[in-house]
Structure formats: structure tokens, C-alpha cells
Structure 1
Amino acid sequence: MEELGEAAASKDGKLILDFLQAIHAAELRQAELDARAFTEEKKAMKEKYEKELKDAIARELMHAEEAALLDKELKRERAKAAAAIKSLQQKLEEKHKMELAEKEKEAELKLKKVEELSKAEMSAAIAREKASQVEKMAEANLHINALCMAFYARSEEARQSHSVHKLALGALALEDALSKGLPIKVEIEALRTYLNGIDKDSVLDLVLSSLPEETIDHGTDTFDTLKGTLRHFSLIPPGGGGILAHSLAHIASWLKVREANYSGNGIESVISQVESYLAEGKLAEAADALEEGVKDSRAVEVISSWVKQARNRAIAEQALTLLQSYATSISLT
């Protein structure tokens, strides 16, 4: 019994195992079927979603193109609107400017009319005032002119008197400079200034301009400085001489200075005659006498400069005499 039981048990176990294996095999087949179905369904879903994605992308591209077209159209419309606004603004500004210009022109015309009226009224008032002032000024001018003429006469008289006084002093200064053999440039310039204060067109200005330049700038040598040299060279023959001749001439001239008698035709007589002419103010005659007295000696070379200066001084003293006469005549008028 036990063996039968064990055999039956083993048989049942085998059946169970076979059943389990059959179930497992069925499950495997079912799993394969399920996997195949899932794969097919997954593939179908993938294809579906890919198609939907492509459609969505296509729609998005289409929408983007539509948006671009709309944006372009919007920009064009905005540009048109901006141009229209700008044109309208310009027209409004021009219209506003024209209105302002017209108003300004009207205001200027009104202002001009007011100014013209004011000017007319002012001109009338000024004319009336001027007429009144002219009468008063005419009367005042008569008194002022009379006073001015009197004052000018006195001022001119005082000025001319002062200038004449200066001219006389200038003549004295010129006389002093000439007597000392000094340059007279300063005195001549001062005299010209004084003459301008009296008479700018005076002939004395021409006289002063004709004075020798050498006398004006350097003055004249006195005859005393020439006498010793004159005595020395008058004893030397025209042909010249050596050292001995010059020494003897020097001693002889020194001795002749001490002679008291200057009569005759010697050099002392010539010197005496020249000094006599100079004392009388006869400069030209003194120059002629000196030239004549030493013409046959070496002294001719020595006296040439002094003779020229003496004649120039004679011209200057003639001008001085004319100047003094003019000053005297002016002071008496």
C-alpha cells in the first residue's frame, strides 16, 4: 500500500510538474505575444507621434512665416503712419509759422504806425523847442562871441608879447655865442621855435635856414688864436723852408709881438688893420684885408679856414641884425 501510495504520489507530482511546465510555457508564449503586441503598439504610437510632431513643426513654420509677413506688413504700415504724421506735422508747423509771421507783420505795422505818430509828435515838440532855443542861443552867441573876441585879442596879445620877449632873448643868446665863436645850433633851433609862435611864414625862417652849416655846428675861431701862428708863417717864404727857417721865424715873430709901432706894410700892420675892422664889426672887410696882407707868404694856407669862418660869421651877424630889427618892430606894434 505504501508502495502504491508512493507510486501514485510520484505520478501526481509528475503531473503537477508537467502542468506547471505547461503553464510556464503558456506564460512564455503569452509574454512573447504581449511583447510583440507592445512593440507593434509602441511602433505605431511612435509613428503617430512623429507624424504629429512633423505636423506641429510644419504648422509652427507656417505660423512663423505668417508672423513674419504680419510683422513686415506692420512695419510698412508703421512707416506709412510715421511719414503721414511727419508730413502732417510739417504742414502744421508751416501753417503755424505763416500765422506767426502774419501776426508779427501786423504787429510791426501797428508798431511802426505808433512810432511814426510818436516821432511826428516828438518832431513837432522838438521843432517848437528848437525854435525857442534858437532864439535864446542866438542872443547868447552874440554875448559869447563878443567875450571870445575880447579874450582872444588879449590872449593873442599876451602870447605874441611872450614870443617876442623870447625872440629877443634868443637874439641875445645868438649874439653872445657868435661873439665867443661857439656853435649856434641850439640857439638857431630855439629861434625857429619862437618864430613859429609869432609868424610861421616869416622870411626869417628862410634866413636862418641859409646860415652856413659849419658856423651852426662848429662856431668860429677868434682872431687872437690865429695871430701867433700868422706871425710865424708870414716870415717863411712861399717856397717853404727847413727847421732853421721855422725856428728863426718863431723867434722873429716872438720879438715882433713886443714892438709898439704897427705902422707900415708888415704883418703887424695887417694884424692891426684886421683887428680894427673886427672892432667895428666889419668881418668881411677884415677877411679881405687879411687875405691881401699875407698873399705872398706861407700864412695864406693858415688863414684860409679863419677867413671862411669870418665870412660865415658875417653872414650870421647879418641874420642877427635882421632878427633884432624884426623883434624890435614886432614889439612896437
Structure 2
Amino acid sequence: MALNHQALSGAMEGLKDGYISKDGKLVLDFLQAIHAAEKRQAELDARVFYEEKKMMKEKYEKRLKDAAARELMHAEEVAMLDKELKREKSKAALAIKSLQEKMEEKLKMELEQKESEAEMKLKKVQELAKAELNAAIAKEKASQIEKMAEANININGLCMAFYARSEEARQSHAAQHFSMGALALEDALSKGLPIHTEVASLQSYLEGVDKDSVLDLVLASLPEETRNSGTDTQLQLKQKSLQFDALKGTIRHFSFFPPGGGGILAHSLAHVASWLKVKEADQSGDGIESVINKVENYLAEGKLAEAADVLEESVRGTEAAEIVADWVRQARNRAISEQALTLIQSYASSISLT
């Protein structure tokens, strides 16, 4: 609009100048001025149109570039979202697989536990059934044994009645031989001689008197050393207390360190400890002096087995055990032999009276 106004103003100025200077040419100049103004106006309009067209073209080209950029950005976002979606799908698939494996493992463990529990229950049922069966069998066997025992009693009664006279004569003869064998055993023990022959004779005589007698076990329990080599005599037993007095210092010394001995220092300390040890007056303690007092009292009372047990127990696990081993063995052998002889003599007396 500013350009059109300038063109018209220029044309009017030209007409004014022409009118003043040249009256004859007023119309022509006016027309020329109009044409010139229109031409300039057209040129101005064309220039304005071109500028506006150029601006619009640039504007639309810019919009097109922006749209293309946005499209490219959207495409990149779509690609990123697609990649993220694939990654999430992969994670989800791995998580599902891991969860499935865990569930399968858990199910497997539960099945194994159930199988184990079922096997344990089955085993318990089998054991219970087996125990019930064994109880029933034992009960049936006990009943049969009881019936057989009753039958044996009746049979034995008949047999005893039938063989009464011959059995009495045979037992009387065997009892006499058994009494003589007991005297021979007593004589051998009193002299400290081997008793193998005497024991064999008593066993053979015992079969003729009472095959099921407990004396058979008594004879079998006699120490092998006593049978083959004999044992201490009565005189030697009376000297046991004197022999034990000679061993007391050694026992007291070696009871202060364990088996295997030790160096000079261990022996020196043991010697000092045994020297400083004050002898206890009573027998209530557990020290070596108390044990020695107990053993001496048992020897004075003739209780050889008790003395051997106390002494052996007190030095067990120490070096003194090897020192007293022979004395303990001899005392125990003598005690067992005397107890066996007492039972044999009592049995011989009882069968001689019957």
C-alpha cells in the first residue's frame, strides 16, 4: 500500500508540472502519467507478490524441513521403542524361563520329599509288621517250649522212676570220685602246683553227677595261667602285704605321669611330687595314698580280688600300671581259684550227704 501511494503521488506531481508548463499537451501527458503510474504500480505489485511468494515458499519449505525432521525423530523414537520392546520381551522371556526352572526344581524337590516320606512310612509299616510277626513267632515258640518242658518233666519223671536204683548207685560212685577230686585240687592249690589234671578229672566226674551243674562254668572260668603254671601258695599270700610295701614307693612315683614315660624333667617332678605327698589318714579320697591304704586294708582282710581291682583302677592310664600288673594278676588268679575251690568243696559236701 505504501508503494501504491508513492506511485500515485508521483503521477499527480507530473500532471501538475505539465499543466502549468504546457497547456496544449495536458491530456497526453496526463494519460502517459497514468500509464506510467499503472506500470510502476504493476511492477511494485509484481515485486510485492514475488517477495510474498518467496516468503511463503521459504516458510513452507521450513515447515516441510521441520516436518521431515519431526518424522525422522519420530522414526528414531519408534526404532528405540521397538528395540526397548524387544529387550523387555527378551527379559520377560528369561524371567519366565528362570521362574519355570525354579518351579520345576521346587516341584522336583517336593516330589522327592514326598517319595522319601512315603518310603519311610512304608519302611516303618514293614518294620512294625515284622516286629509283630516276630512277636507272634516268639510267643508261639514260647508256648511250644513250655509244652515241651512239661512233656520233658513227665518223661524225666518216668525215666527217673525206672532208673532210680541204678542212678543212685552211679551217682554215689561219681560223688565219691568228685569228693576225692576236690581234695586233690585243694592239695595242688595249697602247694602252688598246676591244676590242669585235677580240673579235667573234676569235669569228667561232674558229668556223672550233674551234667547241667553251674560248677562246669566255674571250672571253665579258672585262669589258664593257674591251670598250666599254678598260683601262689598260702605262705606266699601271707607275704603279699610285705611285697606291696616294697612297691608303694615305686607306685607313688610313677602314678604322677602318663604311660610312655618322660624325660629327666618329668621323672624329677614326679619324684618331688611323690616326696611331698602326705599320706592320707582316711580312705575317702581318690589320691594314690588313699588307694594304697584301701589296698592294705583289703589285704589284711584277705580280700584279694577287691585289692587287685582297687589298685588296678587307681593306676590305669599311668606308668605305674605296668609295675603292678604282675602283682594284680597273681592276686586275682589266687582269689578266683580260692572262690572256685570253696564252691567245689561245698558241692562235694552236699552231694555226699544226699
Tell me the TM-score normalised to structure 2 length.
0.37
Structure-1-length-normalised TM-score: 0.39
Computing the radius of gyration from Cα coordinates, the structure with the larger value is: 1
